[in-house]
């Protein structure tokens, strides 16, 4: 009888132990889910980003970067040669023309890749976009370019002495080097002073995070020697 009680008690303790373990695991899962999915405060409210686009700008790069920036509370504006729908951007519309851009109101000027950068450079009014970049640089704004975007930086003469990455396009790389840039296309993201570059769509997440870091740190934290 005593041995039967011991066995029964032992079995009950085992079941209790298992139940407690399962309860702990369940609480851990719920707590983990809460920490993972709880609403977070935007890190970058009150900032504004101007995205420069043209026919052929890479939709996925543009959308992926701007979607994350929007979640962080950043105001986004698309600019092109004219207002309205931009060819190749799946129904996206530019809100302002290059003529209407007031550079002083923006914290970041962003250039996605694709064929857009080359179409900007070769456009009869391409100088308007280049002038925006020159003004942004003179005002120490963040200038962020991904994939083929750095090509426009070379056209604007903004890359001399800068560490740059880009898509491994031979012609673009040659123009960047001729402009005085130190180019390493094997690096996914490079930040040098107020200029942030990335080498392609696989670098979108790291590129966007670097833009956010630059915004939250502020220009005063940069020394021109800091880059990833």
Q: Which residue has the tokens 């993972």?
A: 36
Question: How is residue 161 annotated by DSSP?
Answer: T
Against a cut of 0.85, is the pTM above it? no
What is the mean predicted confidence (pLDDT) over 29-50?
Answer: 56
- Which of 110-114, 190-194, 216-220 is predicted least confidently? 216-220
pLDDT in tens, 138-174: 999 999 999 999 999 999 999 999 999 999 999 999 9
Which amino acids are annotated catalytic?
147-148
- pLDDT score of 75 more than 60: yes
- pLDDT score of 223 more than 80: no
Q: What is the pLDDT of residue 28?
A: 39
Alpha-carbon span 214 to 139, nearest angstrom: 15
Alpha helices (runs of H) in 2-91, residue ranges in sequence order: 2-37, 59-71
């Amino acid at each position: 009888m005593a041995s039967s009680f011991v066995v029964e008690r032992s079995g009950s303790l085992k079941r209790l132990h298992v139940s407690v373990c399962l309860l702990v695991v369940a609480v851990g899962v719920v707590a983990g889910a809460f920490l993972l999915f709880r609403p977070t405060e935007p890190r970058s409210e009150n900032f504004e980003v101007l995205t420069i686009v043209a026919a052929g700008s890479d939709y996925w790069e543009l959308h992926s970067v701007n979607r994350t920036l929007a979640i962080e509370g950043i105001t986004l504006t698309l600019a092109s040669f004219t207002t309205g729908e931009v060819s190749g951007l799946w129904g996206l519309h530019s809100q302002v023309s290059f003529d209407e851009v007031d550079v002083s109101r923006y914290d970041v000027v962003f250039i996605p890749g694709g064929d857009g950068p080359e179409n900007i450079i070769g456009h009869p009014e391409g100088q308007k976009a280049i002038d925006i970049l020159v003004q942004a640089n003179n005002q120490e704004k963040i200038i962020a370019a991904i994939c083929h975007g750095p090509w426009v930086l070379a056209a604007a003469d903004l890359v001399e002495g800068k560490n740059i990455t880009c898509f491994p396009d031979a012609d673009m790389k040659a123009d960047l080097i001729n402009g005085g840039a130190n180019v390493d296309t094997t690096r996914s993201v490079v930040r040098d002073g107020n200029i942030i570059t990335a080498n392609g769509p696989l670098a979108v997440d790291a590129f966007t995070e670097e833009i956010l870091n630059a915004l939250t740190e502020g220009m005063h934290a940069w020394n021109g020697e800091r880059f990833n």
